[in-house]
Amino acid sequence: MWFGMWWAELKTRDYCNEDNVLEGGNEKLIEELKDMTWLILAPNLKTLSIFGCAKMEEILSEGKLGVIGIPYPKPFLKLESLDLRLLPKLKSIYWDALPFPCLKYIFTIDCDELKKLPLNSDSAKGNLLTIEGNENWWATIEWENEATRDVFLPSFKPVVLEIAEWLILM
């Protein structure tokens, strides 16, 4: 359903003509996705929005990356915006902290199993990062250490949406 919206936002030099590849008629595929490890092959990704993948457990799978043969991947170096919604089983974006030199915005709604963000005190350094989400979700985030939590605490903006407002955002 919403994967098509996500794919339309994948605007990279590598994939500029692939906007509608997964739109229409692929709702079952979208519902069954458990990870999106293939995104490691999209190094110019600037906006990543994933909506409504009910079985997605992780964005990049450590085990699958080993199979692909990329021993020390550096994903999402150009990522500016990460938008995750309606991913009830999502537990991991990435298994380790990432530098995110361009990241400015993280938005998450209904990703209650996501307890750890791939951030450390050096991530997104120099960026004015904003993290928006539900206050209850934010309270359950597990940080690498207190220094990391303290770095990102001012970045958090609570989102309280009425159902009508939430539907408009989609």
Average pLDDT over residues 57-62: 90
pLDDT of residue 124: 78
pLDDT of residue 10: 38
Q: Give pLDDT tens digits for 93-127.
A: 999 999 999 999 999 999 999 999 999 988 878 77
Distance separating alpha carbons of residues 53 and 76, to the nearest angstrom: 20
CA distances in angstroms from 146 to 45, 141, 149, 151, 153, listed in the order given: 30, 12, 5, 9, 10
Contacts of 138 (CB under 8 A, 6+ apart): 131, 156, 158
Q: Give pLDDT tens digits for 69-84.
A: 666 678 899 999 999 9
* Proportion of the chain above pLDDT 70, given as a percent: 72
Q: What is the pTM of this model?
A: 0.78
The answer to whether 134 touches 158, Cβ cutoff 8 Å, is yes
* Mean pLDDT of the chain, nearest integer: 79
